[in-house]
Amino acid sequence: MRLEELDFDIPEALIAQSPMEPRDSCRLMHLLADGGCHHAVFSDLPGRLTAGDTLVFNDSRVLPARLRAQKTTGGVVELLLLRPADGENAAEGELWEALARPSHRLHPGERLTLSGGEQLTLWGLLGEGRWVVEGPPGRSLVAIMEAEGRLPLPPYIKTYPKEPFSYQTVYASVPGSSAAPTAGLHFTPGLLERLDRGGVNSAYVTLHVGLDTFQPIREQVVEQHRIHRETYSVSPEALRTIRATVVSGSRLVAVGTTACRVLETLARDGLLDDARPPVPVCGSTDIFITPGYRFQAVDVLLTNLHLPRSTVLLMTMAFAGVDRLRLAYAEAIQRGYRFFSFGDAMLIEPLVPRTSSRQEGM
């Protein structure tokens, strides 16, 4: 597939800068399995699902990982803590990988002072502005972030929200992401209760969204892109619910491309048809889903309207069909849908039901 096939001309006025209030009052474009397209409101979701369906959510919580630090010379450095780094015997504090701006005048061994007085030590340069940093001995870097940090908002959101919680899902519980799993931002506690009363099941998995989510594809042949790796975990309870849905022939509804990555990784690794008692599953995934991919687990995809030239747009095209999604995006633009993280949502049913694909593979 050529890179230019991932291009869309999104008017700047349609790039959402803040969420709808209430969250579930955003618009919902429903692409049906028969090829039709309905326009609704997100709060209508319970009526568009079926009792026995299982919504699979990503419960990762975005870390307020953007920190301002000062060099001994007085210069200011902005740090974005990305993920824990491999430990070393000589380290007394936690080691994390961080993106530093500006980076070119920093040196290994240099100490940076945060606003609260704590000091971080630069261990070594990883390249492209990324460093391994050591936190103060006996102090959790996550605790420092929660006390002093700011959320690492996508670059197309120009104003920091008055309520930072608006960039967290209402069910976020496991700290670790550099970006929100944005398809889940539309859910409210009341909507979750209505779905439960309607017989729609829920399963919570964890995939920590990395900064590379914002990085555009640059290879002219998109399949040559090197996909980022993200860590995930699935509890025995969640795995049991997901397996039961598969066995019953009901639908797995991935809430976002991150939940989709987890489900397709589990299917690829044979963990959805495993008859053994479920155990905790932890690992990392570099699964790269492009058009032509045969989905093994996900029956319905709930997602936002994505950035051009992004891996998440590519995955959505793989699920919906390239031409079908391009037509849907053109209609969304014509109708004034709001795009990207704080924007509107799509509920996509494939033209070929995944349940039949599962049966063929059995």
In a domain, 154, yes or no: no
User: Which residues partner with 345 through β-bridges?
Assistant: 28, 304
Mean pLDDT for the stretch of residues 245-270: 97
| Residue 352 pLDDT class (50, 70, 90 cuts) | confident
Cis-peptide into 22, omega within 30 deg: yes
In a domain, 314, yes or no: yes
Query: Are residues 254 and 300 part of one domain?
Result: yes
In a domain, 85, yes or no: yes
Residue that terminates a domain, selected from 148, 178, 213: 148
Residue that terminates a domain, selected from 103, 122, 148: 148
Query: Are residues 198 and 140 part of one domain?
Result: no
- Smallest Cα–Cα separation from 263: which of 238, 228, 237, 280? 238
pLDDT at 356 over 60: no
Query: Are residues 96 and 52 part of one domain?
Result: no
Query: Are residues 12 and 53 part of one domain?
Result: yes
- Domain of 130 in residue numbering reads as 66-148
Query: Which CATH number does the domain housing residue 41 bear?
Result: 3.40.1780.10
Mean pLDDT for the stretch of residues 48-62: 98
pLDDT at 346 over 80: yes
- Smallest Cα–Cα separation from 340: which of 11, 30, 42, 15? 15
- The pLDDT > 70 percentage for the chain reads 95
In a domain, 13, yes or no: yes
Query: Are residues 330 and 201 part of one domain?
Result: yes
In a domain, 155, yes or no: no
pLDDT at 360 over 60: no
| Residue 89 pLDDT class (50, 70, 90 cuts) | low
In a domain, 232, yes or no: yes
Query: Are residues 102 and 238 part of one domain?
Result: no
Query: Are residues 239 and 340 part of one domain?
Result: yes
So what's the pLDDT on residue 362?
Answer: 43
Query: Are residues 136 and 268 part of one domain?
Result: no
Residue 355 near residue 249, CB atoms below 8 Å:
yes
Residue that terminates a domain, selected from 90, 118, 148: 148
Q: How many domains does the chain have?
A: 2
In a domain, 141, yes or no: yes
- The pLDDT > 90 percentage for the chain reads 86
Asked which of 11-25, 217-231, 295-309 is least confident by mean pLDDT, the reply is 217-231
Query: Are residues 76 and 57 part of one domain?
Result: no
Residue 44 near residue 347, CB atoms below 8 Å:
no
Query: Are residues 339 and 275 part of one domain?
Result: yes
| Residue 214 pLDDT class (50, 70, 90 cuts) | low
Our measurement of the distance from residue 1's CA atom to the centroid of its chain's CA atoms, rounded to an integer in Å, reads 23
Mean pLDDT for the stretch of residues 340-356: 86
Burial of 333 (0-12, 13-18, 19+ CB in 10 A): middle
Mean pLDDT for the stretch of residues 261-281: 93
So what's the pLDDT on residue 216?
Answer: 85
In a domain, 153, yes or no: no
The sign of the dihedral angle between the CA atoms of 323, 327, 328, 330 is: positive
Query: Are residues 222 and 138 part of one domain?
Result: no
Query: Which CATH number does the domain housing residue 102 bear?
Result: 2.40.10.240
pLDDT tens per residue, range 164-189: 899 999 999 999 999 999 999 999 99
Could you tell me the CA-to-CA distances from 14 to 11, 101, 346 in Å, in that order? 6, 29, 15
pLDDT tens per residue, range 110-153: 999 999 999 999 998 998 899 999 999 999 999 999 999 999 99
Q: Distance between CA atoms of 81 and 152, rounded to whole angstroms? A: 9
**Structure token digits, residue 187:** 């859910």
Summary mean pLDDT of the chain: 93
The sign of the dihedral angle between the CA atoms of 84, 154, 303, 324 is: negative
Query: Are residues 96 and 216 part of one domain?
Result: no
So what's the pLDDT on residue 361?
Answer: 47
Query: 236 by DSSP, 3-state: which?
Result: helix
So what's the pLDDT on residue 90?
Answer: 60
Query: 88 by DSSP, 3-state: which?
Result: coil
So what's the pLDDT on residue 7?
Answer: 94
Could you tell me the CA-to-CA distances from 328 to 179, 258, 323 in Å, in that order? 25, 21, 9
